[in-house]
A and B are shown apart, each in its own frame.
Chain A
Amino acid sequence: MKPSAFAYARPRALEEAFALLEAHGENAKLLAGGQSLLASLNMRLATPEILVDIGAIPGLDGIAVKGKTLVIGARTTHRTIERSEAVARHAPLLAQAAPHIAHIAIRNAGTLGGSLAMADPAAEWPACCVALQATIVVASKKGERRIAATEFFKDLYTTALGPGELITAVEIPCAETDERHSFLELVRRRGDYAIVGLAARARVKASALSGVQLVFLGVGVTPVRAKAAIAALEGKTADADAVRAAQAALDRDLAPGPDLYTSADAKRHMARVLVARAAAALVG
């Protein structure tokens, strides 16, 4: 399986990348780490005329704390996030999620921005960004704009990115001291796509939960925020009654389709299992 022929450009500045995107329109594909794009090129699911490699554009990687915001450059690799002390301190959900992403050799190359732009419904970063109420910074010839992660994922592999736009960074509010996080996945083998995954977050005061976020992956075409289950846990102490109520509420939140190996009912059951585990982890 070899890709079909394409031209290749490695711009040295964002403006050059914008010009290439404008000139080639939908025939151009952006290349960052390439860990999803190369697989689809190899299988000829994608046949772009030109790849625009953003690997040489300065200013797209790195992790910085600016005030109460953690800023992660779009080209930052999964491994860099996994190993970052700043991420572990200010966005522990990302640190918990990173080891679940594929395998080491892939995490060494794949990037945060690439994963968000790809918007695979089973991917870890989109669900985490929604749970963390992150802001996705995008740029184009027309300038920069900021999109709430909750508004970014529109449909299967479809985002709010417009023509000529690329992701430059992700801004994440630094975790409060009373904030707790839990990232969980159920998979057949380590590194596989999650059958069901859950990014959970809440503030915990005297074992009562507030600001609860429960965002599932692998159960819909985008990350799915479980509103009814969130409401069932909000203000509660995650006791057995509250957890049962949240589990029951998932029937209103989730309508997973079956995949090759797992029925919709099994996925719903697994989601209930994850909510209970996450609630225990948040107050534990």
Chain B
Amino acid sequence: MDERIETTIALTVNGTGVTRRIEPRMHLIDFLREELGLTGSHVACEHGVCGACTVRVDGEIRRGCLTLAVQADGKTVDTVEGLSDSGELAVLQQAFHERNALQCGYCTPGMLLTAQALIRERPDATRDEIREYLSGNLCRCTGYQAIIDAIETVLRTPRTEGVG
């Protein structure tokens, strides 16, 4: 077996087209972090439990460690960097800051992407529904209350911009 099997992928990452030769076994999260230097999305459990590697593929959140980079060939990928630069996460980021919804910050990029998916999909979510939606994102610092508070604040605040 050739250990250096490679394949070429072309995809759009944060609005920019990229083409790279990679090994098929490379995770999307490692592709983003190591090939493209987008280290905002984090790697922790590497088997789909913790949610730190959450990114968006064709508009829907995914586990970056349970997605191969080759599976993103031809697709559109958005990370916390792109969604911060575009301002889409601005209101949520401000709320996380104000509510002290992060301590070490390791889970935060994944939390933000999942929370933003919730805001877009379920703007009327109750606290219990927020908890349920975030059940796939682990945080070892905050005890979650402040994260739920921050998201609830965004959901309950009339908004004109910054929330997609």
**Residue on B nearest A27 in the bound complex, by CB:** B1
Task: Render A18-47 as a binary contact track against B, CB cut-off 8 A, 1 for contact.
Answer: 000000000000010011001101110000
Out of B2, B66, B135, name the residue touching A191 (CB < 8 Å).
Answer: B135
Cβ of B10 within 8 Å of any chain A Cβ, yes or no, is: no
User: In whole angstroms, what is the CA distance A65 to B114 when docked?
Assistant: 33
Which residues on the B side are within 8 Å of A49 (C-beta)?
1
Cβ of B71 within 8 Å of any chain A Cβ, yes or no, is: yes
Which residues on the B side are within 8 Å of A42 (C-beta)?
27, 46-47, 65
Interface of A is mostly: loop
Cβ of B87 within 8 Å of any chain A Cβ, yes or no, is: no
Which residues on the A side are within 8 Å of B7 (C-beta)?
8
Most buried by A among B1, B23, B66: B66
Contact size range, A:
20 to 34
Which residues on the A side are within 8 Å of B71 (C-beta)?
31, 34, 53, 55
Contact A104 B61 (CB under 8 A): yes
A-B contact pairs, 7 of them (CB 8 A): A5-B5, A7-B24, A34-B66, A38-B27, A102-B136, A106-B136, A191-B135
Residues of B whose CB lies within 8 Å of any CB of A are 1-5, 7, 23-25, 27, 30, 46-48, 51, 54, 57, 60-63, 65-68, 70-71, 73, 114, 117, 131-133, 135-137
Contact B48 A35 (CB under 8 A): yes
Residues of A whose CB lies within 8 Å of any CB of B are 1-8, 10, 31, 34-35, 38-39, 41-43, 49, 51, 53, 55, 79, 99, 102-106, 108-109, 189-191
Contact A104 B114 (CB under 8 A): yes
Report the number of A-B residue pairs with Cβ-Cβ less than 8 Å: 98
Which residues on the B side are within 8 Å of A190 (C-beta)?
131-132, 135
**Whole-angstrom distance from the CB of B127 to the nearest CB of chain A?**
14
User: In whole angstroms, what is the CA distance A7 to B25 when docked?
Assistant: 8
**Whole-angstrom distance from the CB of B147 to the nearest CB of chain A?**
15
User: In whole angstroms, what is the CA distance A31 to B25 when docked?
Assistant: 12
**Whole-angstrom distance from the CB of B128 to the nearest CB of chain A?**
10
**Whole-angstrom distance from the CB of A24 to the nearest CB of chain B?**
12
**Residue on A nearest B30 in the bound complex, by CB:** A2
**Whole-angstrom distance from the CB of B49 to the nearest CB of chain A?**
9
Which residues on the B side are within 8 Å of A105 (C-beta)?
51, 54, 61-63, 114, 136
Which residues on the A side are within 8 Å of B68 (C-beta)?
8, 31, 34, 38, 51
Out of A1, A5, A108, name the residue touching B23 (CB < 8 Å).
Answer: A5
Which residues on the A side are within 8 Å of B114 (C-beta)?
104-105
Which residues on the B side are within 8 Å of A41 (C-beta)?
25
